Structure 1
Amino acid sequence: MACAEKKGKAKAAGGAAVGTPVGVAGTSGSKSKSKAKINTITLVGGKKRKRNASSDHSDGDLSPASPSKALEEDMLAKRRSNRQVKRKKYTEDLDIKITDDEDEPEEDVDVTTTAAVASITGGAAGQLMGEQLKQELQLDGDGLSSMQFFVENPNEEDAAIVDKVLSMRLTKKEVSPGHYINAEEFFVKYKNYSYMHCEWATLEQLERDKRIHQKLKRFKIKHAQMRLLLQEEEEPFNPDYVEVDRILDESNSVDKDNGEPVVYYLVKWCSLPYEDATWELREDVDEDKVVEFRKIQDRQPQLKRTPRPQAAAWKKLEEFREYKSGNVLREYQLEGVNWLLFNWYNRQNCILADEMGLGKTIQSISLLSEVLGAGVQGPFLVIAPLSTITNWEREFATWTDMNAIVYHGSLASRQMIQQYEMYCKDDKDHLIPGAYKFEALITTFEMILSDCPELREISWRCVIIDEAHRLKNRNCKLLDSLKMLDLEHKVLLTGTPLQNTVEELFSLLHFLEPAQFSSESEFLRDFGDLKTEEQVQKLQAILKPMMLRRLKEDVEKNLAPKQETIIEVELTDVQKKYYRAILERNFSFLSMGATSNSNVPNLLNTMMELRKCCNHPYLITGAEESIVAELREVYDPMVPDFHLQALVRSAGKLVLLDKLLPRLKAGGHKVLIFSQMVRCLDILEDYLINKRYLYERIDGRVRGNLRQAAIDRFSKPDSDRFVFLLCTRAGGLGINLTAADTCVIFDSDWNPQNDLQAQARCHRIGQSKAVKVYRLITRNSYEREMLDKASLKLGLDRAVLQSMSGNKESNVNGQIQQFSKKEIEDLLRKGAYAAIMDEEDEGSKFCEEDIDQILQRRATTITIESEGKGSTFSKGSILCAHYLSQCVL
């Protein structure tokens, strides 16, 4: 609290930005910043540094001159050769962060600092921290770090340091009465101040920052590039950055000038990490957030561990149970919560294996809410993929009043979470053993994999593991890390408990009940080779008490049907040339076949090259330059859309997409496009930019908060976004995109369950429209053969989880294993047919056909209706009767 009081004194003395911004909606009365008009924020006072007022003509934004034609062509060429990994929607996010130390190398942490933080980092002496963090980390008596989150009484020079240049504009400046000249203004964020205090300033006003000229030079270069990439006016930063997420601490001080009491709050801002928290005046903080902060501070910690109630205390929850804000569970979700509660009371770890889209998140949150109502205050642990943790936090806030925190981010952010969010303290600011501020902690698999001793020291009353099929490999490091945690009750959530083999199922069962499933060899001896109906039924009997699985067709009779259309596209002449070249270059490997293990890597490499060729030849190293050079000799390179036409006509799949998307847009559809390859998404992104289609994008490199922001922009009712580009594995987990009704699988996954996960982003409960899935397959190539092979993997899932009849699909064990050496060889040999076929003009014909002809002649359609059948396990109502009888016994 001492640090906070110093901050208060510093601000009261005018040493920090505390002035109230004008021009912000709601500043008179309501303090909400969420709908702030960013470009009208200016500061009227309160800062120690003296600034001139913004121009009187602040509304007359004049854009800088457009870049020259030569520069534009150069930028386009650079974009084509260096395809960006992701597109972010705010100019501030486009890496225009300019700090005073950006040209200085990062220094290693010295021995003293490393030793000081050992109790927090688990002795991870190898970790490096910046010099600023070294100075800010100070340990208190409980082994936690006390950080300074402000600069005490900054002098004029320090207070003028520009952290980020966010935007620029031309405005009119009066140099003499009636005489105006054009003047550049820059929208800047100052170091150690929040985005709420950003302002427009001229170069003269910014010159107190000694390095401002270099910073503005770098900004202008990047700004010119962005003007080519961003066709519409973008806001200078994400409006979330001025919306209060949580209040972390409070400081009371006295204004030295007038003796009035002053209250400051340490604010964590939405979509920003904890380390960017700033102290703000109470008047600038939303009152609702203050009430929320008070509620958490006034909460009495549970000092004595409450034992779990006995099994006989379990009672079935009645229908239409109402949660926060009037939210009500669907009937099947209530049955699922009853089943989860029954297992908790009976000390039975379990798997909720409902099909994707049935609300496993809501059911598990409701379970924790009911456990809390039974007197067990936690702490509870939720482990989920990075892409879903924001959604988990949102659902906790929507359905319960539980204090759920997200434990993720840099070392500095995690230190702050420990300092302010995790532990209860007494009046002397000492930790109270076993007492926590939070009820639920949400974290990622990556945090569990990293060395997090602070999580191992907590006795968790219940853990929820989302997308638990990540535990399918028994020897993975994640399982080892989970076994080091103190977990009283375990719940696994997965829509695909069986993906490839029964061996993967054993890994999940062994984690849940290591005593019951101790021997992998015995389990595989009984079930490793599923050939008979008796074996399937025996495995189902073992799974039934600890696994609940419902399909959409079981619980939602009115769910819109899903129609999948497999479209066979032709290789273009360009693709055929590269396809042949790949096969000819690797002829020696192909002729050797899979007779030796040493040749398998060569075959796999050949397969990957063919896969790139089928998607787009630009993915092959050096191909883009060669293809464009050849086309320049045939077509006029000065045509405005020359590069777009070269991009489209080089690949059959893009030819098809170019014909399909205009039809979908005209019909008012919204489209998800999935690909396995990030570089393939880059090519699709270039195409969408050239066609002026508005889009969003998620792949493995997009941060969690940016992912959720992209989902929200795409999903809002008045959204103008037409396409969502997703990497199948990064965007296929736990994301709700029911705003879309069309799904394009640009290239199929080896594992068909991943494609099903992707389709379930839009075909799920809550989808009111019929969903159409277009799967693009290159005709007469290895791709078609691969799809046929991979689809057989679904046989195991149907045999064990969905089929009780022991039909022919049960007898698929020999076909559902990972591809063997022989199968890899067969795929390549059969796929080679595309390179030697005589139908040289098929590619040209395909390019000339319209979308109706393609769909009529080259497509196979499968419609999946809601039939209300197919689930292995009994529905929840039957289960309730079953476990009620068990309680009586």
Structure 2
Amino acid sequence: MRRSAAPSQQGNAAKKMRFVPPGTRGFPPCPSPDTPEHCTLPLQPKPTLTNAVNTTPVNRRPRESQVSGALARVLSVVPVSEKTTDTPSEEEENTHTHMKDEEHQAPQSRPISIQTCPTERYLSVMWCKASNRKHKRWEGDAVLVAKGRSVVLKDMEGKDIGRGSGYKASELENLAEGETLMVSGKQIEVMGVISAEDYAKGRCFQEVSTATSTVPLLESAVARSAAKPFSRPSLKGGVAKSKEPEREIRPRHDPNAQGALVMPRPPANHQWLWNKSGLPLVDVVMDPHLTVRLRPHQREGVIFLYECIMGMRLSGRCGAILADEMGLGKTLQCVSLLWMLLRQGPYGGKPAITRALVVAPGSLVKNWGAEFNKWLGRERLRVYMVDQDHRVEEYVSSPVCPVMVVSYEMVLRSLSSLQKLDFGLLICDEGHRLKNTSIKTTSALHTLSCTRRIILTGTPVQNDLQEFYSIVEFVNPGVLGSSAGYRKIYEEPIIHSRQPSCTQEERALGEERAAELSRLTGVFTLRRTQEIIGRYLPGRVEWTLFCRPTPLQSSLYAQLLSTQAVRSCLRGSTTHLSTNSPHFACISALKKLCNHPGLLYNTMKKDSTEGSVCEGLSAELFPAAYSSGTFGTDESGKLLVLCDLLAAVQHYNPTDRVVLVSNYTQTLDLLQDLCVHLGYTCCRLDGNTPVSKRQNLVDSFNKPSSDHFLFLLSSKAGGVGLNLVGASHLVLYDIDWNPANDMQAMARVWRDGQRKTVHIYRLLTTGTIEERIYQRQVCKQGLSGAVVDLGKGADHISFSSEDLRDLFTFETKTTCLTHQLLGCRCAGDGEIQCLPEEETTLAERACQLGRRADSVNIPQRVSMSELMQWRHYSGDNQSYGDVYLDHAHSHITYAFQSMSTETQLSR
């Protein structure tokens, strides 16, 4: 091996030190051939990232807090007289290398703790194509992993770009700074050593510093003095004009008042970067008008958002993700933050921003305007809401409106006009819409010249970790590196570590990368659950009801599973799911049958050609009344339960109202016909409801004087951002692949403003595909939330043959397949069985059980372990302790019940 020639000055990448140990330029000398396999670890600190090109070797012992446990034990046995001071003499510096050689040749001179040499080494290197040229053309930085006699070369995105084997073990152990090596036709030059910790956490691949401060903190606040103003010299014999006293700048509100909410003062490094004109530091205080209305968790949220967008939590970054669950007041926290920043700032009292842009779904634009008016009133702040009558182009002529609210669709239409405006803050409501960096909406918002960005979402991880990367990249671009690097460094190791067949090394690496990802994003991500707000709301009772299928449903289900279309689906090994695939058609047909056989009949009448999912089904299987378009309520198990529930609610509490949620427009049509047939008054909100009428429809239903008993809601169109506190009962008629959609829909009635105990009912057909979907939700398995927005096509979703066989089965003799899967031995009488942890281990079923890759930091609503703590009721029980449900018990095979703490205490 030899040192490479210096790189040329023109056309070549400049050499730069990436990882240099702070006290040495090389590595410790290798052991002599007589040295046994175990040796003492080198007395040198961990390598750190530095920009220095040359460092002077210094025999300086590192602090014990910075060394590993093994090294600390070595230092502990060294006599005190032999431990040198932190400041060596010049003679000691010059003889550093010679002393180390002597120490190595005479180990008996001091007691040594024997440790095992590491099996892997990690080196920071530069690489280029193999060439005999004197001046190398270096391609870039890389990381070399040496283990035994083989090496792996990884680029700075974690991708393998070279492998080699057959090297001498001593050659790899002695690689030092400046030495070269050939790997897969590439020549590398060692630049420094990387610690095992930095490699395990992926820090060696990070091009961008993620520390919260890049400028050393000073002991006191730093304020650069402003230039002295011009002073007119006094005339001869005259009197100089006296200097006017400077006006004292005070906070807008009293920071010492009782209950005042005062924002943290910027640290010294922030003042150095952002207060170059030397303005006085002023406290930023929340308006008392809003302070008294904020709950404790909302106060914490405002402070968190303030620190993030002001760049106080992550140096050079001004983005935040507020990932609170539904009902915690994300809108109020943003309204409070906006009002404060539009009026105040930490430097000189000047406002931190002058304009703000709020982007929301079209159905929530008016809701945002109503929230501003509710908390601030029109006299304090005027909001410009973009709609058909108020265009973006007209906003320039409305200087009295510092806040604009616009829909995602209107952003695309008026992008050129928005790009001309200067916004100080951008807020994206329901920000999980930006889960793909390649869609037009995300690309359009990226073009806006606004670095302060906030994403509001109750479900930051819906599908996979790549979607989480997209929203992180939007608020703080570059903090996680490139998309390809993120996939190699974080996503793939985390996913591999959660596979049953992973090795111990893969599991450990995945856990380290997951912890590092959590650390990086936790600085600017705030997540709170509904448990916080539960203390402020009335009780909540949540039921999961397993409804007995009718004889007609059972016969049609078995007939449908035997069709040619379903058999063809089971032949494939791996299937990509899309709206055009036969697998999607088969799954949709089974879900329609679970809702009501009439929905399947309509599908069969429209398409029963060869190759369709309904091929082989005959109209003779349906009652004769179906030919006239008349469907019976007694032909669906879920519909029978629903009818009994509605009748009980109206009988026992005539003033109570019900929200009925479905994912399908055809199901809502059937339910609306049911309301007309039974004489129930209702209103409906779905995708066909004009955006301009949606909020008025919600407000009308929430009024105490409303004459509507039912609110029919499509979870796709209106399940997000709507408060339906006028109802105290909610029925989720069918289940969605994505648990986030169900969670959002069920949270519509348990919100601020609710005055009654809330009853939530989720209906599932026993033994069918609906139970399989529910199991995947509570098990947090890959399929629980994998199928997102199927109507838009999800070509990245795939099912194995084992998954499909499990989906396309029908258990006719079970009362609850999910309860059997739990392995619970309760009597089904409603008593909670507190089993030991080892007894709650779930049965082995590869296609249903396991942990999701995206469940690292974002837990779902309920897990299997939590489901064991719910109350279990078998269908044989005559009483469930619920006056409404007791009326429908004859059509229920099993039931799970969960209650909030307040409800349990009241009972």
TM range (shorter): 0.5 to 0.7
Matched, 1:354 2:389: no
- Distance, in Å, in 1 between the alignment partners of 2:652 and 2:783 is 38
AA paired with 2:764?
I
Contact 1:785–1:831 (8 Å) recurs in 2: no
Q: Which residue of 2 aligns with 1:418?
A: 393
CA gap 1:759/1:309 in 2 versus in 1, 3 angstroms? farther
Aligned residue among 683, 691, 694 for 2:670: 683
Equivalent residue, structure 2, for 1:459: 422
Q: 2-side partners of 1:631 and 1:357: how far apart? A: 44
For residues 834-889 of structure 1, give each alpha carbon's deviation from its aligned partner in whole angstroms, at most 9, with x where no partner exists. 89x9xxxxxxx99x999527548523223143599xxxxxxxxxxxxxxxxxxxxx
Alpha-carbon distance in 2 for matches of 1:732, 1:864: 22
Cα distance, 1:770 vs structure 2 = 2.7
Distance 2:339 2:689 in 1: 31
Question: Where in structure 2 are the equivalents of 1:377-456 lying within 5 Å?
Answer: 378-400=354-376, 401-409=380-388, 413-414=389-390, 418-419=393-394, 422-424=395-397, 436-450=399-413, 452-456=415-419
Could you say if the C-alpha distance between residues 622 and 494 of structure 1 is closer, same or farther in structure 2, counting changes exceeding 3 Å? closer
Q: Which residue of 1 aligns with 2:517?
A: 539
1:363–1:655 distance in 2 versus 1, CA, 3 Å: same
Cα distance between partner residues in 2 of 1:464 and 1:778:
41
User: Aligned partners of 2:456 and 2:569: how far apart in 1?
Assistant: 46
Q: Aligned-pair distance for 1:742?
A: 1.6
**Counterpart pick for 2:582 among 583, 594, 602:** 602
Residues 1:820 and 2:799 aligned together: yes
* Displacement of 1:471: 1.1
Q: Name 1:371's counterpart in structure 2.
A: 341
Asked if structure 1 preserves the Cα contact closer than 8 Å seen for 2:566 and 2:586, the reply is no
Per the TM alignment, residue 371 of structure 1 is displaced from its structure 2 partner at its CA by: 0.9
In 2, the alpha carbon distance for the partners of 1:766 and 1:854 equals 29
CA 1:458–1:865 in structure 2 vs 1: closer, same or farther (change >3 Å)?
A: same
Given that residues 672 and 725 in structure 1 are in contact (C-alpha distance below 8 angstroms), is that contact kept between their aligned partners in structure 2?
A: yes
Residues 599, 784 of structure 1: alpha-carbon distance in 2 compared, 3 angstrom cutoff: closer
Q: What is the 5 A alignment of 1:652-801?
A: 652-668=637-653, 669-793=656-780
Let me know the Cα RMSD of the aligned residues. 3.8
Residue 335 (structure 1) aligned with residue 335 (structure 2) = no
Contact 2:539–2:758, Cα closer than 8 Å, also in 1:
yes
Judge conservation of contact 2:574–2:799 (CA < 8 Å) in 1: no
Letter in 2 for 1:618: G
Q: Which runs of 5+ in 2 are unaligned?
A: 1-272, 312-316, 345-350, 498-507, 606-616, 786-795, 817-874
User: How far apart in 2 are the matches of 1:754 and 1:768?
Assistant: 24
Instruction: Render the CA deviation track for 1:481-522: whole Å, top value 9, x for unaligned.
Output: 111222231011011112222221111111112122232233
Q: In terms of Rg, which structure is larger?
A: 2
Q: How far 1:820 sits from its partner (Å)?
A: 2.3
Letter in 2 for 1:387: S
- Secondary structure at the aligned position of 1:516 is classed as coil
Shift of 1:467: 0.5
Per-residue deviation at 1:616?
A: 1.6
2:900 corresponds to which residue?
865
Distance 1:598 1:360 in 2: 37
What secondary structure is seen at the aligned counterpart in 1 of 2:667?
Answer: helix
- Residues in 1 aligned to 2:304 and 2:275: alpha-carbon distance in whole angstroms: 16
2:382 maps to a residue whose letter is: N
Deviation at 1:561, TM superposition (A): 3.8
Q: Is the partner of 1:557 in helix, strand or coil?
A: helix
State whether residues 565 and 860 of structure 1, in contact with CA within 8 Å, keep that contact through their aligned partners in structure 2. yes
Q: Over residues 594-646 of structure 1, what are the superposed CA-to-partner deviations in whole Å (9 max), with x where a residue is unaligned? A: 226489822221111111111122223547989999998689x9xxxx987x3
**Maintained 8 Å contact 1:553/1:559:** no
Residue pair 2:645, 2:888 contacting (<8 A) in 1 also: no
Change (3 A) 1:632 1:675: closer
Distance between the aligned counterparts of 1:599 and 1:351, measured in 2?
31
**Displacement of 1:693:** 1.1
Q: What residue in structure 1 maps to residue 288 of structure 2?
A: 321
Query: Quick one: distance in 2 between partners of 1:591 and 1:628?
Result: 24
Residue pair 1:565, 1:859 contacting (<8 A) in 2 also: no
Taking structure 1 as reference, are residues 471 and 511 closer, same or farther at Cα in structure 2, changes over 3 Å only? same
| Whole-Å separation in 2 of the counterparts to 1:599 and 1:396 | 42
State percent identity of aligned pairs: 29
- Name the CA shift for 1:557/1:521 in 2 (closer, same or farther; >3 Å): same
Q: Contact conserved, 2:327 with 2:533, CA < 8 A, in 1?
A: no
**In the TM superposition, what whole-angstrom CA distance separates every residue of 1:349-402 from its partner, at most 9, and x where no partner exists?**
101111110111111011111111122563211111122111101111222322
Alignment: residue pair count: 510
Query: AA paired with 1:661?
Result: L
For each residue in 1:153-204, what CA deviation from the matched residue of structure 2 results, as whole angstroms up to 9, or x when unmatched? xxxxxxxxxxxxxxxxxxxxxxxxxxxxxxxxxxxxxxxxxxxxxxxxxxxx
**What is the aligned counterpart of 2:556 among 568, 578, 598?**
578
Determine helix, strand or coil for the equivalent of 2:556: helix
Q: Which runs of 5+ in 1 are unaligned?
A: 1-306, 425-434, 799-816, 838-844, 869-889
Aligned to 2:472: 509
Question: 1:702 aligns to what SS in structure 2?
Answer: coil
Preserved CA contact (<8 Å) 2:558 2:810: no
Q: Structure 2: which amino acid aligns with 1:714?
A: F
Tell me the distance in 2 between the aligned counterparts of 1:390 and 1:721.
23
The corresponding residue for 1:829 is 808
SS in 1 for 2:427: strand
In structure 1, how many angstroms separate the alpha carbons of the residues matched to 2:679 and 2:797?
41
Contact 1:314–1:342 under 8 Å retained in 2: no
The structure whose RCO (Cα within 8 Å, separation 6+) is larger is 1
Letter in 2 for 1:484: T
Maintained 8 Å contact 1:385/1:444: yes
CA distance in 2, matches of 1:503, 1:675: 29
Superposed CA offset, 1:79-116 (max 9, x none): xxxxxxxxxxxxxxxxxxxxxxxxxxxxxxxxxxxxxx
1:487 is aligned to 450
Over residues 448-507 of structure 1, what are the superposed CA-to-partner deviations in whole Å (9 max), with x where a residue is unaligned?
Answer: 233532112212111110010111123222111111222231011011112222221111
Higher helix share: 1
The Cα of 1:314 is off from its aligned counterpart by: 7.2
* Secondary structure at 1:831 match in 2: coil
Distance in structure 1 (CA, Å) of the matches to 2:466 and 2:368: 30
Q: What is the SS of the residue equivalent to 2:886?
A: helix
Query: Does the CA contact (< 8 Å) of 2:657 and 2:727 recur in 1?
Result: yes
> Separation in 2 of the partners of 1:657 and 1:391?
31
Contact 1:783/1:831, CA 8 A, preserved across alignment: no
Within 5 A, what are the aligned runs for 1:302-321? 313=281, 315=283, 317=285, 321=288
Distance in 1 (alpha carbons) for counterparts of 2:765 and 2:442: 39
State the shift of 1:749 in Å: 0.8
- Matched residues in 2 for 1:590 and 1:570: separation? 29
In the superposition, relative to structure 1, how do residues 517 and 630 fare at CA in structure 2: closer, same or farther (>3 Å)?
closer
Query: Are 1:611 and 2:591 matched, yes or no?
Result: yes
- Distance apart, 1:556 and its partner CA: 4.5
Q: Distance in 2 between matches of 1:559 and 1:829?
A: 41
Determine which of 532, 536, 541 is the counterpart of 1:563: 541
Which secondary structure state, in structure 1, belongs to the residue aligned with residue 528 of structure 2?
coil
